[in-house]
Amino acid sequence: MPSTQQNFMLASTIFILCLQGTKASSTDPVFVDVLAAEPQDPEAGRKLLHSVNQKVIAHGILCTIGYLFLLPLGALLGRYFRTFTDKWFKGHMVVQWFIAGPVILAGFALGIAAVKQGNTKSLDNHMKLGIVLFALYIMQLVVGSIIHWVKPRNPKGRPPQNYFHAVFGILIIALAFFQVRMGYKDEWTRIPMNVEPKGANTVWIVWIVLVPVAYVGGLAFLPKQYRQEREARESQGAQDETKEATS
């Protein structure tokens, strides 16, 4: 006699196959087992699995949008427009804080909810990296805010934290690419969807090429950026000296 857990898993598998419209016959091993099983509460099992799956799907979509579309957008805004307008930081901050932030937070919360509802006993690599990635994102927001609002007095050159912020942001996006791929390649087949989302890998490949190319293209503005920053430091230094002389 199959156990209740086995019955639940078998019933759940049938439900997902039905959701996907997967063609299967009664000769398939899973269907043979299910036909011989007697689930105690298959309806509750279907509802639970459906709820978990919906959370996982929403989690994947929101985190992909937040980490792979909005964060690169905010980075590219800073990379391309900072040498043309002093308003660039507002656009950068709005995207990274107020648009990407809620999307990433919602995706992260749905991931936690799915793990809890699915009664996961231990965290796998995708789940662990998700926590690390979210913490790194929060840390990056804090570092960026400090850099913008807490300026060093009389800097002789470009502050090291500015370089750290840029490199750290690139690292976060690179980890996000790895994390998203792990999500649709590994996690998607465990919930069980049994197949990765159609076209996901193609979009991922195209995007992992386009985003770095776009960012590298923006590096052409670095000489102009460094010149503007140097002139701003020299101007501020002259103003400070004038104030000290007249005080």
Average pLDDT value for residue range 148-157: 85
DSSP secondary-structure letter at 186? T
Are the C-beta atoms of 210 and 72 separated by less than 8 Å? no
The predicted pLDDT at position 98 comes to: 97
**In the structure, what pLDDT confidence band is assigned to residue 36 with cuts at 50, 70 and 90?**
very low
Q: Transcribe 187-198 into DSSP letters.
A: GGGTTT--SPPT
Measured between alpha carbons, how far is 39 from 2 in angstroms, rounded to an integer? Answer: 9
User: What percentage of the chain exceeds 90 in pLDDT?
Assistant: 55
220/15: higher pLDDT: 220
Predicted pLDDT of residue 199: 87
Summarised one tens digit per residue, pLDDT across range 78-97 is: 999 999 998 999 999 999 99
Q: What's the whole-number mean pLDDT along residues 157-168?
A: 94
d(CA 20, CA 129): 28
Query: At residue 33, does pLDDT exceed 50?
Result: no
Average pLDDT rounded to a whole number, residues 150-172: 91
Is residue 67 within 8 A of residue 179, CB to CB? The reply is yes
Amino acid code (one letter) for 167: V
Q: How confident is the model at residue 35 (pLDDT cuts 50, 70, 90)?
A: very low
Point out the least confidently predicted range of 28-32, 144-148, 181-185.
28-32
The DSSP code sequence of 7-48 is HHHHHHHHHHHHHHT----TTSHHHHHHHH---S-HHHHHHH
pTM over 0.85: no
pLDDT at position 96, please? 98
Give CA–CA dist 176/208, Å, rounded: 11
What are 235-244's pLDDT values in tens digits?
877 776 677 6
pLDDT category at 32 given cuts 50, 70, 90 is very low
pLDDT in tens, 1-16: 444 444 444 444 433 4
